[in-house]
Amino acid sequence: MRRVDLSAVIGAGFALWGFQIGSAPFSDNSFFTHLATGRLILDRGGIPRVDPYSTTAAGADWVVQSWLFSGVVAGIEELAGPVGIQVFIGLLTAILGALAWRLTADAESIIPRIALTAAVVGVGSAFWSERPALVGLIFLAVLRLRLERRTGPTWWIVPMMWVWVNVHGSFPLGVVLVAVWLVGNRADRRTHPQEKALALTTVGGVLLGAVNPLGLQLLLFPVELLGRSEVLRVVIEWQAPGFDTLGQQLFLLILAAAIVGVARSATWTDGLVVSVFVIAALLGSRNLPVAALLIAPVAARGLRGVGTIRGDRPLPFPAVFVTAAILLFGVAASGRSAGAQFNLRSYPVRATAYLEAEGLSRPVTADIVGNFRELLFGEEAEAYFDDRFDMYPPEFVTDSVTLLRARPGALDVLAEETVVLWESDAPLATVLRVSPEWTVRFSDEHWVVFERR
């Protein structure tokens, strides 16, 4: 059997940590729509081209950018139920945990590697949810590791990029990473034996991604999305981080180590990679886990020489450690399968049941409730709004923000509506409670249903 060293055991520990993060019960509102859409794809034998869910954008053109992910999770649900999806997502985040450990190899000593990898996973834990972005993060980390090596095959980048294009709209990040790395190499006057191959396989894989049921629409989707900046500004994850959470503060520690790494290496390559992706993270918090992974090798070089405990010594009885790792993953997976697969505590379960029992349809809701209704009812969701900000007209998004923040004019937005389902402690609920035009039909600890008098 191949030798097992301390580094491999610790890497398995981070993979197990990643598994625990990803295999938690499903609570992400975006995932609800991904799963509902996957069910539609399997039922119809094709990808929806127009919005099948909402009352406010019914029939509008819709690019199902993550069609492949949606189809896969729905297929797993048919074969193994929600537990199968839970294990699948857990395996994706386990891979991310292991990759984070690999990216810190240049620190050499075990203690700083553990601290740095824990910080990277800590940053990612707030974002490593059941979304197709997980696949994009895995491919980005794999590509980063490949750029750190000087030799090896490159052909596999082509199918990887094809899958990436058809799974998530973050694939341009891979092209940017390779481009920045190539520019840095030229600025450092270093020649890499596979520069041309890396560039061609990356770009070629993206272009091949156009061979899909939706054609060029998938390649153009990221550009069109960024063109809707006025809409993205209202989405929390597209806003600049405030560094008021532990994960965001851990990112600052990684950045500090990366700055030391740039100073020590004195290369344009490290400097450009850190600069480009840290700027992206400062502009939008959704880029924090991306930057954390990509600057981790530079941060590891900044910590080189700290500590003396190395992880490359072989451990005795390697079979014992391999068996223990397999058992631990088995216990973790069985523990997850024994519990609930969906965590719906933050969603209006009772209020929705009341609406159905009373025959009150087409409620006005916030975006996350729209995703929840799509999970429950599919094409019968009658969603007022969900988080597909790329699809709704900008003026409708503006009206929705007016409702969310109870701005002046909120009652005018509701002029043609008869039922509202809203969080009971939100500003809009306060406005409707004092309005003579609305009456409370149902309320519990967290949600309230209003009907026009």
295 and 406 in a common domain = no
Q: Establish if 1 belongs to a structural domain.
A: no
207 and 148 in a common domain = yes
233 and 125 in a common domain = yes
pLDDT tens profile 179-208: 999 999 989 888 777 888 999 999 999 999
DSSP alpha helices (H): ranges in 23-156? 29-44, 67-103, 110-125, 133-148
Kindly tell me the sign of the dihedral angle through the C-alpha atoms of 133, 246, 25, 354: negative
pLDDT tens profile 264-273: 988 999 999 9
Predicted confidence at residue 1, as pLDDT, reads: 47
Q: Establish if 224 belongs to a structural domain.
A: yes
133 and 42 in a common domain = yes
How many domains, the chain? 2
Q: Establish if 145 belongs to a structural domain.
A: yes
Q: Helices 67-103 and 29-44, interaxial angle, to 10°?
A: 130
The answer to whether 205 and 162 have CB atoms below 8 angstroms apart is: yes
431 and 296 in a common domain = no
Q: What is the mean pLDDT of residues 14-20?
A: 91
Q: What is the mean pLDDT of residues 349-378?
A: 94
Q: What is the mean pLDDT of residues 122-132?
A: 92
Q: Establish if 230 belongs to a structural domain.
A: yes
H or E element in which residue 441 lies: strand 438-443
CA neighbor of 95 nearest in space, from 148, 22, 1: 22
253 and 109 in a common domain = yes
Question: Poorest-confidence range of 105-114, 211-220, 330-339?
Answer: 330-339
Predicted confidence at residue 306, as pLDDT, reads: 82
Predicted confidence at residue 307, as pLDDT, reads: 67
Residues whose CB is less than 8 angstroms from the CB of residue 413 and which lie 6 or more positions away in sequence, other chains included = 399, 402, 403
DSSP reduced 3-state for 38 = helix
What predicted TM-score, i.e. pTM, was given to this entire model? 0.91
356 and 298 in a common domain = no
pLDDT tens profile 68-96: 999 999 999 999 999 999 999 999 999 99
423 and 287 in a common domain = no
157 and 285 in a common domain = yes
161 and 28 in a common domain = yes
Domain range for 115: 6-302
For residue 93 the two structure tokens come to 């985040």
- pLDDT, greater one: 27 or 390: 27
**Structure confidence at residue 225 as a pLDDT band (50, 70, 90):** confident
The answer to whether 44 and 122 have CB atoms below 8 angstroms apart is: no
240 and 96 in a common domain = yes
Question: Could you give the percent of the chain with pLDDT greater than 90?
Answer: 66
Predicted confidence at residue 99, as pLDDT, reads: 97
Cα separation, 80 vs 225, in Å, equals: 34
446 and 388 in a common domain = yes
